[in-house]
């Protein structure tokens, strides 16, 4: 049996690793009073806006900054080296778990790769707008057969008759020429509005990828927090099951002693053994659930397979006061990364729409080179070229209108998605608030049920010890205590997860999960 004091220790606030003192609970007060006093010149700030500003002050960097160091490497499939688990169990607080997950989770690595890819695409688009320079140098040695090129001996003799060649000059049909040249080439787009709009759109595309990564971060923190709290709940269930097992063992021993002393019945002894075995089964089931959830937590964190974990925090319990709906909506529309990502996608599509329209305009470009050329032994002389080009589209109306229709359709679809997402956010926040309020009341009722069940069990044990009653009421009371404790653990887990989900739906889970859970 677990005493009242032992049951209440389950709900100590989270403690950071290495801290010897408890952390004060932080309860969010949604019913703040707006500033008092009569407005003189301007209208007072709306209460919902004040609450949203207060919520801004709760933002903190996620995690503790803890970095996991593996216990070395070991060979994996196909000869690939993988991290090895540490020899001892890893002490892990909730903040530590979030830090490890943000660093090692495979989804975060994919997002970083996508960000690097978009950055490379941005540089490629920019390269089309900035000047491009290159240096070209080459030297060649040639041997030319003039006769093969049409310079027959008779033709060469004709040159001598004209006096163009000096008297006695011997004109060889085989000529050797060694030349060297070097040049700097340059090309520059002077006017191309479609490319310029596409370049401006790369900033929106970068923002889209960054916001998508932030969305994944928020989802990861929600997943880590949920599984971490589930493991804490499993640990509490194991503790309760073991306490009930010990209590059932004592009850069974008492029944056996009474039977041997001739003051008990074999039915009481049999009932005690059955109850004890049932509690043993509950312990085995609770331990199995705990180990499976620990494996899942390690998998989400990206830890090596087989890494042992030791959770250092306890399940937090802090009442979350009713949150103002308008303040929650203001916060969500400002911080929901999926909504902000859609807004950036719309801005990107608007850039593409302008780029398509600007295809009707002419483009202007320049290219040229300057260098030297001559015989390898000299002399050399300058060589250059400068050219400007104007490209004027005359008629490509079918392709132009087709591209405009495609872009317009995509833009309309994005705006419809944005409007639908705003409605979805509203419904998600309303549902989350209902879940938080309902779970809070369920926790209070479950706490009261545990206290009443323990009082009933204490009374029944005293009656059984005094010989007033048999052990059947004690068995029933122990079952009631076990059920009440399990329900309390379950409702506390649901309450904390509901608060995390509310933080996720308002778009602030990645840096305000502590405030919603009631920890600093």
Q: What is the mean pLDDT of each run of 10 residues along the chain (520 residues)?
A: 34 36 30 35 42 54 87 78 88 93 91 90 87 91 82 71 69 82 91 90 91 92 94 91 86 84 84 89 94 94 91 85 84 93 94 92 92 87 90 88 92 95 95 92 92 89 79 79 87 93 92 84
Homologous superfamily (CATH) of 4-29+48-69+89-129+192-363+407-517 is Outer membrane efflux proteins (OEP) (1.20.1600.10)
| Contact residues for 205 (Cβ-Cβ < 8 A; gap 6+) | 118, 121, 122, 348
Q: Could you tell me if 245 and 283 are in contact, meaning their C-beta atoms sit under 8 angstroms apart?
A: yes
Q: What is the pLDDT of residue 126?
A: 87
Alpha-carbon gap, residue 440 to 53, rounded angstroms: 25
Q: What is the pLDDT of residue 55?
A: 53
Alpha-carbon gap, residue 104 to 29, rounded angstroms: 35
| Residue whose entry in the numeric block shows the structure tokens 């989802």 | 219
pTM, rounded to two decimals: 0.75
- Among candidate residues 340, 330, 318, 320, the one with its CA nearest the CA of residue 429: 330
| DSSP code per residue over 443-508 | HHHHHHHHHHHHHHHHHHHHHHHTTSS-SHHHHHHHHHHHHHHHHHHHHHHHHHHHHHHHHHHTT-
Q: What is the pLDDT of residue 251?
A: 81
Q: Could you tell me if 140 and 220 are in contact, meaning their C-beta atoms sit under 8 angstroms apart?
A: no
Q: Could you tell me if 371 and 172 are in contact, meaning their C-beta atoms sit under 8 angstroms apart?
A: no
Q: What is the pLDDT of residue 43?
A: 38
Domain boundaries defined on the chain: 4-29+48-69+89-129+192-363+407-517, 135-181
């Amino acid at each position: 049996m677990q005493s009242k004091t032992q049951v209440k220790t389950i709900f100590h606030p989270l403690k950071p690793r290495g801290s010897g003192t408890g952390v004060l609970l932080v309860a969010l007060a949604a019913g703040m009073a707006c500033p008092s006093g009569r407005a003189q010149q301007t209208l007072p700030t709306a209460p919902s806006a004040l609450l949203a500003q207060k919520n801004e002050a709760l933002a903190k960097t996620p995690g503790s900054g803890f970095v996991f160091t593996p216990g070395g490497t070991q060979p994996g499939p196909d000869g690939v080296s993988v991290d090895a688990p540490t020899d001892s169990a890893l002490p892990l607080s909730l903040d530590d778990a979030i830090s490890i997950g943000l660093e090692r989770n495979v989804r975060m690595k994919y997002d970083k790769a996508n960000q690097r890819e978009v950055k490379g695409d941005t540089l490629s688009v920019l390269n089309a707008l900035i000047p491009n320079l290159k240096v070209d140098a080459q030297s060649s040695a040639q041997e030319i057969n003039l006769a093969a090129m049409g310079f027959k001996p008779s033709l060469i003799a004709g040159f001598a008759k004209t006096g163009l060649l000096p008297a006695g000059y011997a004109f060889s049909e085989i000529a050797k020429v060694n030349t060297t040249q070097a040049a700097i080439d340059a090309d520059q787009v002077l006017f191309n509005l479609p490319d310029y709009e596409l370049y401006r759109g790369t900033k929106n595309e970068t923002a889209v990828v960054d916001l998508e990564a932030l969305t994944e971060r928020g989802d990861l923190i929600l997943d880590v927090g949920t599984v971490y709290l589930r493991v804490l709940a499993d640990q509490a269930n194991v503790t309760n099951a073991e306490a009930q097992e010990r209590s059932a063992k004592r009850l069974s021993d008492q029944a056996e002693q009474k039977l041997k002393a001739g003051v008990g019945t074999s039915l009481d002894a049999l009932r005690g053994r059955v109850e004890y075995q049932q509690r043993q089964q509950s312990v085995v089931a609770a331990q199995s659930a705990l180990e499976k959830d620990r494996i899942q937590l390690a998998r989400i964190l990206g830890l090596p397979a087989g890494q042992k974990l030791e959770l250092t925090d306890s399940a937090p319990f802090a009442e979350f006061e009713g949150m103002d709906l308008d303040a929650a909506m203001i916060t969500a529309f400002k911080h929901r990364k999926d909504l902000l990502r859609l807004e950036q996608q719309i801005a990107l599509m608007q850039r593409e729409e302008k780029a398509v329209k600007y295809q009707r305009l002419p483009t202007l470009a320049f290219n040229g080179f300057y260098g030297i050329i001559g015989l390898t032994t000299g002399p050399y002389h300058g060589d250059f070229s400068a050219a400007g080009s104007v490209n004027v589209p005359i008629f490509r109306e079918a392709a132009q209108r087709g591209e405009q229709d495609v872009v317009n359709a995509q833009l309309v679809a994005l705006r419809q998605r944005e409007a639908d997402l705003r409605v979805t956010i509203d419904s998600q926040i309303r549902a989350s608030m209902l879940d938080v309020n309902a779970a809070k009341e369920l926790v209070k009722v479950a706490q009261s049920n545990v206290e009443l069940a323990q009082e009933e069990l204490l009374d029944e044990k005293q009656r059984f010890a005094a010989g007033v009653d048999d052990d059947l009421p004690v068995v029933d009371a122990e079952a009631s205590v076990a059920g009440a404790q399990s329900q309390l653990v379950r409702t506390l887990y649901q309450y904390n997860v509901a608060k995390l989900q509310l933080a996720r739906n308002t778009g602030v889970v990645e840096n305000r999960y502590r405030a919603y859970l009631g920890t600093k």
